[in-house]
Structure 1
Amino acid sequence: MNAWSGQERDADVMGPTVTRAASAKSSPPPLKNGNELRQSGYLIAVGSRTARFRRKHRNKLLLIFLIMLILLLLCLAVAMTVLYVKQKRNKPIRICHTRECLRSAANLALSMDTSTSPCHDFYQYVCGNWAEEHPRPDAYRSYDWFREKQNKVYARVRDFLAKNTTDQPRPVQQAKDLYTACMDTETLDKLSLKPTFKILKSLGLPAYPTYINVTDDFDYSTYSFDWIEAVINIKTQLGMDVLIGFDIFTDPRNSSEYRLVMGSPETTNPFPSMHNEKKQHIGQKSLLERKIEKSKKNIRILNKKHGDNFESLESKDDDEKTEHIYKLFYAELIKLFILESGPKDLNLTELELDQNIFLAANEYYTMSEDMYELEADNDTSTDDDQYLDVPDYTVNEVQAHTDMIVISNNGTPVPIWKRYLEGVFNISDVGLDFQKDRILISNPDMKYMSLMAAYLSKAAPVTIELYIWIKVVEVMAVHTTTELRLLFQRSYDALRQHDLTMPPRSLYCASAVNDLLGMAVSYAIANPDFLTKTKPKIQIMLNEMKKSLAQLVSKTKWMDDDTKLATYQKITQMKTLIGFPNWLLEEGKLEEFYEGIEINTKTHLDNLINIIQVKIRKALNRFRMGNNFTWATDPTEVNAYHTFQENTITIPLVMLQYPFYDLGLDSLNYGSLGTVLGHEITHGFDNFGRQFDKNGNLLPWWTNKTIESFVNLTQCFIDQYSSYFVPELNEHVDGKKTLGENIADNGGVREAFGALKEHLRKHSEEPKLPGFEHLNSEQLFFLSYGNLWCGVPTKESLKSELSDEHSPQHFRAQGALQNNEDFARVWRCPPGSPMNPRQRCIIF
């Protein structure tokens, strides 16, 4: 029998119950199989205590592990952060080692005076050593980046013109021939004054002034001289204004048309100058602004090299010296022409001849001063608004008005104006309609024309001839013999009371060719890659500048909403001419542009006159044509222009090169060229530019409220710049005269800085400039702007600058930065320091 069978188990379990007394021990429970014992909790498996421990602490271990892992990761993160920071601190600085960066760094480092605090005198800090590194050549009264660049341009032009080249357009070869003729001084000396005598004859003028009276039997009472015919010939053959000023300008109220304009003489010297003084960085003058800012003194073309005749002037005061120098110059000029022409009927002794010559020089000087007084009276009015509303007249109305003034001054009226205009247009294809073709004449110009007519009505014909003769001869003679050039040079020196070395003939001739055939020269030096590489970058910069100005306008509180909207529209429609005309490199276009010009390598003066005559005829023929918004300057001129009556900015090719552009870093480019572009853009909204609307028309587009607010703000600029003192001259800057340019300077810096910040935001961080690793991009921007105005002035040049509409260069840099809060922030200038004043002048 199986003892573990299920039956026995059942019988055992189900047996009869045994009853025990209460005091008896309880018996152990019946034996059960393993499963039942386990289920009953009596049997414990071997090792079950460890398992229970693991179950109990498993979650705790997992938690500890996670905590340790987190701590490890945290430590790793901290370690990585420390390593990153340490690596960033010790990371090699990215430095720009390009040729452009190295050149810019060297220039800045050598120009700076680091012993000066940038917060005390930033100009001295940036430019303190510029003069030492860029010594002023003796040929120039002042020297700066603009002059240095222009000299390099002329040198480049000279080298090209002197080089044998083939396969060039005809005008380029003509430019070379013009240069060759200019350089051929041997032929010029051999021809002597013969070319000049020929031209004088064609103008209706004698070989020497009739006033000299070289014969005893000359009757002055019967002498007559047709001065009107003479000035017509001079205008049409030489392009020169004598007594009467005439030109064709864009209509101030309709920029798409041309108008006839008359007044005081404007073009007094149509020929290239022997001394190309520095041209200021300015906006292109409109007709009206040229009238407002026209020089009050006739410009005489005199040159240098001290001679014994001038050394005795030391004891005389300045006015007497000037008068004596001019009279002596005119006397020597007249005598050279008399001796060269060799009159056969000369009945005077040498002493008598000299006496007559000095009397003639004195008479010319007297009339010259009288005419100067008439022009000065025209220019000295302080009310500029009289030029902004220029009336127009029929030619008969002009004649009637001037006749009235002539009669009131006891003179005899003669027909002048219709005859003059007909004579000038006689060389063109245009016929004037004197009922429809009204003439623009400002009130001051009408006054001049009337008084001039009255003066001539009573002047002796022989004196009028003398006056016209000298006016013409003094601009032509310098382009003839060596003897006459030296005469001009000595006189030029004596007027300035010190010697100035005459520029090399090669540079003068290169400059002359550039002035007269600028587009042909530009073709020769233009790089076709410019159109695809540089020009697009400049267009981007200009767009950024315009956007920056728009943002500044949006923040202004003195402009109302209507004026702001009109300003945005003018900014948007502002046109730009960059580098050189698009047509310049097109086949056949250059020949078309210079059609009609003839050049001979043996006739220098005739070449100059031929070019002038072709340009005059083309200008007259364009009178009936619409304004095509041509370039305001040649691509080789170191300058930039804002043409108000065309709402156009012109940036010549050479301004897009070192030292104004291509400086290696955007911060440097924006600080130099960018501020120049900003200057020109702002001109459209300065005290004069605001007169012209988006189409370049002289129409009111600012509300009266905005104009009033603007005028109030300008007083701050007037006061600020008037406080600048020039110790060399013991004079202050004229804050009112320089207002427009000061506003443009200030606006240009703000616009360029805003454009740079936006530009850097879109692009990766700039590398550092070698040697300037401690400066950031914003500091380099201001450093570049200050360096733009470095220069070497002289007392004479400072005097000239104080009579100009621009402030001296030191103050152009200082003033704009003193008004700029970003400058003070970037350079950490303490409040109240010279470069961080308590009060700032801000318009844009």
Structure 2
Amino acid sequence: MDNYAYQPDDNGKPFAITRYPSVPRPANDYLVEVNSRSKFLKKPKFFKILSAVLIAVIILLLIVIIILTVQYYDKTYLSRICTSEECLKSAANLKLSLDSSTNPCDDFYQYTCGRWSKEHPNHGWFPTFSTFATISEQILLSTEEFLTSEETNDEPSPVTQARNFYKSCMDEDALDDLGLSVIFKYLKEVDLPSVPSFLTKSDDEIAEFHFDWLKSDAVIKKTFAMDVLIGFVVDSNMLNQSENAMYIGVPGLRCPLPSPFKKTGGDKSESAPDIDDLRRITNGNIIKFVLSTLYRNVTSKELKEDVLEQASDVLLNMTFEIDSLVANFSSESNDLQSQIVKDFQTRINEILRSDIKKDYPQILEKYLGFLFTGTNVTIDFDNDFFLLSQNDVDYLPRILSYVLTSSDIYLELYMWWVTVFAMIINTSSEIVEYIVKQTAPFYTGTAVLRSRSLDCSALVNSFMGMAVSYGLADRTFSNKTKPKVEQMLYDIKSAFMEHVKTISWMDQKTRTATLEKSKEMISFIGYPDWLLDKGALEIYYQGITLANNTYLDNMMSFIKLYVPSKLEVFRKINERNWSTDPLSVNAFNSFTNNAINLPMAILAFPIYHLGLEVLNYGAMGSILGHELTHGFDNEGRKHDKFGNYKEWWTHETIDTFEAKIECFVKQYDNFTLAGVEGHVQGKKTLGENIADNGGLRHAYWAYRKYVDRNGHEPKLPGFENFTDNQLFFIAFGSIWCETISPDDLESQIEYDEHSPNKIRVIGSLQNSKEFAQAFQCPVGSRMNPNTNKCQVW
């Protein structure tokens, strides 16, 4: 009879039955007859010696084989550990952040980032110190080094201009010498007096005073690129991205000049005064200081105290009333409508006559006339139109009612103050020191100020980012880094599209359109192709004239070109193009271009160049996935593959989608943070939370595609016991490590559309089956709750 036995596989597990023929049982080899033993013992001495030598040789050979085998396996083992400089840096960085005493299934953020704050102390340059801030810090230091380095003969003129710009910012003596004269120069340019008429006119003169506030609003906008009472911009037509449109309504454009109020929040302790009272006191002090200083400079006299107090009260009240009005109409508004200029003008006047028994004939025609004077564009009031949200439609009659019932002397005072305040922080050291001291209560975190050299470096970068990028750009980027990032994005997009094909809540029509939009989504990675072309860079900065000792004038050279250049593209055809500087440590999805923007600055350690692709996909890949998913979140889904704002999903799919995303709203509404009042706002942070969750999932499956193509990667030194899936999630968590004060967290929860970093990590991973499997988190643990996991993408 035949015998059967289990043949084990490579893992020692039986997988097949092998058939063997019947054979006689062999004798026991170790059983030897007694006669045989005695014969051996009687052999000559020579044979005994020979046998001993042979045994010694065999033992020696065995030892050599064992040594060689051990050496071979040591080399094989070592070859499975990445020892590159990038891997060693990544291993050290992660080790300095990980809190191994925390169970990753209890609090993965603490597990990944528990030691980050201790090992990465904030030296005060950033109110919140994070992984992203470490990159910004390095960019700032590199910018300073570049701007202070020796000029070369072959560098393009914009680079020389950037160095001169930096020198003008650093020349504090020149600022003190210029004093307030530069402010008076720009007041004159916008037809405003050196000191407001409220301070110089008699009561009789005030009664007869007339001020053209509408012209002043338009002129200030063209000169300082800021909205005062009326918001206006020419931008791509959201309903047809190939052309431009006019938008009018709620102010949204702030002056690009540096502001003394870099941060709000302040001391929120129980002993601190009410923040609104503190802000009013601070603003009042600054107003009175600036008014009295400029009045003294112009008239060589001291301003009467009662006049000063009255002017301060008027400005405080007007600022509060106008800011409140703007805030009431600044909430998110999804609707969009087009209105012919003349028709909308008629509609506004009908409302004004009804509300205040006044009107302003041809107000919009006059306003546009002031704005477009000096450009190559003529507005056709009978055919050109505005694009407006309902907030814009409601705001304009309200602000016009306010203005038409206000005194002209008050309106001039307000316009004067807004203009002066935009410039005042950029003048003499005396004024700067006073304002910094007054605004100190509004700063949170450490009170360490950056050196002026770093502030000037940041300023030059903000105004001349392309010129600075020319100097800092890696010349090998296009050949080395960019193709790898493009492949990563391709993998993520492929993972997303494969997922879309399996979605059950989406009908076929919407699915097809979603896949088409994904295919049409383009990317801008690193820096524009023309950046390293000297001639192209000089064309980009054409028209800019800079000196090395006129700091405010240098900034104004850029600002004064901004609005006219935007106005002049009104009739031009739009093309999808770069919309950020390469040195921005950020990434974003441009809905109107259906494009992902990934500047070169963010492609830096510790977010990229991490040595292993599992780390790159976990860190940078999750960011790319986040931006891709944004194109299909609660706002991105309203833009089609061309970027046009339209309804391109079926009503049934929209209803299902809206129902499913409520899961995220409820989940994030329940998140609170120790020592911080309130809870995360699930509705306000919805779009970002959808992008976080979807982006992480698609980055994970994109990495699995990488492994399928290339096989498993070597181990990270010090992390040999971790699987690649575990390392992926550790890399994801590590990019959100930060040091942040409770005050800043409260402000973030109240105002920011992003969830706090800790919640971004925990919320996304609670919904990740792949994470729970990687760390074997039991159902019911905090990181793998016994609830339905939220998912749409």
Which of 370, 383, 391 is the aligned partner of 2:321? 370
Q: How far apart are 1:429 and its partner, in Å?
A: 1.6
Native 8 Å contact 2:338 2:388 kept in 1 = yes
Aligned pair in 2 of structure 1 residues 773, 499: CA closer, same or farther (>3 Å)? closer
Unaligned residue ranges in structure 1 (runs of 5+): 1-62, 69-79, 278-298
1:665-710: CA deviations, max 9, x gaps? Answer: 0010001110000000000100110011111111222111211111
Give the match for residue 394 of structure 1: 340
Q: How far apart are 1:402 and its partner, in Å?
A: 2.3
Q: How far apart are 1:331 and its partner, in Å?
A: 1.4
Give the match for residue 510 of structure 2: 563
Give the match for residue 732 of structure 2: 785
Q: Partner amino acid for 2:243? A: E
Give the match for residue 811 of structure 1: 759
SS of residue in 1 equivalent to 2:329:
helix
Give the match for residue 351 of structure 2: 405
SS of residue in 1 equivalent to 2:555:
helix
Give the match for residue 230 of structure 2: 244
1:371-390: CA deviations, max 9, x gaps? Answer: 1222122135xxx5xx3331
Aligned counterparts of 2:72 and 2:382: Cα–Cα separation in 1 = 84
Aligned counterparts of 2:76 and 2:481: Cα–Cα separation in 1 = 33
Give the match for residue 17 of structure 2: none
Give the match for residue 841 of structure 1: 790
Aligned pair in 2 of structure 1 residues 450, 743: CA closer, same or farther (>3 Å)? same
Aligned counterparts of 1:275 and 1:545: Cα–Cα separation in 2 = 40
Native 8 Å contact 2:108 2:783 kept in 1 = yes
Native 8 Å contact 2:248 2:392 kept in 1 = yes
Aligned counterparts of 1:98 and 1:200: Cα–Cα separation in 2 = 59
Aligned counterparts of 1:515 and 1:738: Cα–Cα separation in 2 = 28
Aligned counterparts of 2:89 and 2:150: Cα–Cα separation in 1 = 32
Aligned counterparts of 2:534 and 2:196: Cα–Cα separation in 1 = 49
Q: Partner amino acid for 2:187? A: L
Give the match for residue 279 of structure 2: 322
Aligned counterparts of 1:368 and 1:139: Cα–Cα separation in 2 = 30
Aligned counterparts of 2:655 and 2:386: Cα–Cα separation in 1 = 33
Q: How far apart are 1:327 and its partner, in Å?
A: 1.4
Native 8 Å contact 1:140 1:500 kept in 2 = no
Kindly, what percent of the aligned residue pairs are identical?
Answer: 37
Aligned pair in 2 of structure 1 residues 144, 723: CA closer, same or farther (>3 Å)? same
SS of residue in 2 equivalent to 1:577:
strand
SS of residue in 2 equivalent to 1:529:
coil
Native 8 Å contact 2:124 2:445 kept in 1 = no
Aligned pair in 2 of structure 1 residues 111, 461: CA closer, same or farther (>3 Å)? same
1:552-572: CA deviations, max 9, x gaps? Answer: 212221111221111111111
Aligned pair in 2 of structure 1 residues 618, 683: CA closer, same or farther (>3 Å)? same
Native 8 Å contact 1:741 1:806 kept in 2 = yes
Aligned counterparts of 2:583 and 2:274: Cα–Cα separation in 1 = 42
1:95-141: CA deviations, max 9, x gaps? Answer: 11111111111110011111110000000001011111111233432
Give the match for residue 340 of structure 1: 297
1:570-606: CA deviations, max 9, x gaps? Answer: 1111010000011112241111111100001111111
Give the match for residue 207 of structure 2: 221
Aligned counterparts of 1:260 and 1:769: Cα–Cα separation in 2 = 54
Aligned counterparts of 1:499 and 1:155: Cα–Cα separation in 2 = 20
Q: Partner amino acid for 2:465? A: G
Q: How does 1:24-63 map to 2 (within 5 A)?
A: none
Mean Cα deviation higher: 573-582 or 703-712: 703-712
SS of residue in 1 equivalent to 2:569:
helix
Q: Partner amino acid for 1:400? A: T
SS of residue in 1 equivalent to 2:356:
coil
Which of 673, 686, 693 is the aligned partner of 1:746? 693
Give the match for residue 670 of structure 2: 723
Native 8 Å contact 2:470 2:531 kept in 1 = yes
Which of 110, 116, 123 is the aligned partner of 1:137? 123
Aligned counterparts of 1:500 and 1:267: Cα–Cα separation in 2 = 29
Q: Partner amino acid for 1:394? A: I
Aligned counterparts of 1:494 and 1:378: Cα–Cα separation in 2 = 28
Q: How far apart are 1:427 and its partner, in Å?
A: 2.9
Q: How does 1:587-598 map to 2 (within 5 A)?
A: 587-598=534-545
1:645 and 2:592 correspond: yes
Q: How far apart are 1:411 and its partner, in Å?
A: 5.2
1:427-454: CA deviations, max 9, x gaps? Answer: 3222222222211122211211111111
Q: How does 1:144-159 map to 2 (within 5 A)?
A: 144-159=130-145
Q: Which runs of structure 1 show a deviation greater than 6 angstroms over 4 or more consecutive aligned residues?
A: 83-90
1:760-790: CA deviations, max 9, x gaps? Answer: 1111321111111111211111000000100
Aligned counterparts of 1:88 and 1:711: Cα–Cα separation in 2 = 57
Give the match for residue 828 of structure 1: 776
Q: Partner amino acid for 2:601? A: V
Aligned counterparts of 1:815 and 1:88: Cα–Cα separation in 2 = 43
Q: How far apart are 1:528 and its partner, in Å?
A: 2.1
Give the match for residue 45 of structure 2: none
Aligned counterparts of 1:390 and 1:709: Cα–Cα separation in 2 = 23
Give the match for residue 88 of structure 2: 102
Q: Partner amino acid for 1:781? A: F
SS of residue in 1 equivalent to 2:77:
coil
1:705 and 2:652 correspond: yes
Aligned pair in 2 of structure 1 residues 316, 511: CA closer, same or farther (>3 Å)? closer
Give the match for residue 413 of structure 2: 466
Give the match for residue 200 of structure 1: 187
Aligned counterparts of 2:101 and 2:261: Cα–Cα separation in 1 = 37
SS of residue in 2 equivalent to 1:255:
strand
Which of 194, 198, 218 is the aligned partner of 1:232? 218
Aligned counterparts of 2:275 and 2:469: Cα–Cα separation in 1 = 43
Which of 85, 101, 108 is the aligned partner of 1:115? 101
Q: How does 1:258-657 map to 2 (within 5 A)?
A: 258-273=244-259, 316-341=273-298, 343=299, 346=301, 353-380=304-331, 387-410=333-356, 412-414=358-360, 415-496=362-443, 500-657=447-604
Q: How far apart are 1:502 and its partner, in Å?
A: 2.6
Aligned residues: 726
Aligned counterparts of 1:216 and 1:614: Cα–Cα separation in 2 = 38
Aligned pair in 2 of structure 1 residues 127, 533: CA closer, same or farther (>3 Å)? same
Largest Rg, 1 or 2: 1
Q: Partner amino acid for 2:277? A: E
Native 8 Å contact 1:546 1:571 kept in 2 = yes
Aligned counterparts of 1:89 and 1:192: Cα–Cα separation in 2 = 72
Aligned pair in 2 of structure 1 residues 319, 616: CA closer, same or farther (>3 Å)? closer
Give the match for residue 6 of structure 2: none
Q: How far apart are 1:88 and its partner, in Å?
A: 6.9
SS of residue in 2 equivalent to 1:466:
helix
Aligned counterparts of 1:276 and 1:366: Cα–Cα separation in 2 = 22
Aligned counterparts of 1:491 and 1:820: Cα–Cα separation in 2 = 48
Native 8 Å contact 1:411 1:457 kept in 2 = no
Aligned counterparts of 2:791 and 2:272: Cα–Cα separation in 1 = 49
| TM-score, structure 1 as length reference | 0.83
Give the match for residue 14 of structure 2: none
Native 8 Å contact 1:209 1:469 kept in 2 = yes
Q: Partner amino acid for 1:261? A: Y
Native 8 Å contact 2:224 2:255 kept in 1 = no
Q: How far apart are 1:394 and its partner, in Å?
A: 2.3
Unaligned residue ranges in structure 2 (runs of 5+): 1-21, 28-64
Aligned pair in 2 of structure 1 residues 811, 473: CA closer, same or farther (>3 Å)? same
Aligned counterparts of 1:543 and 1:103: Cα–Cα separation in 2 = 27
Give the match for residue 92 of structure 1: 77
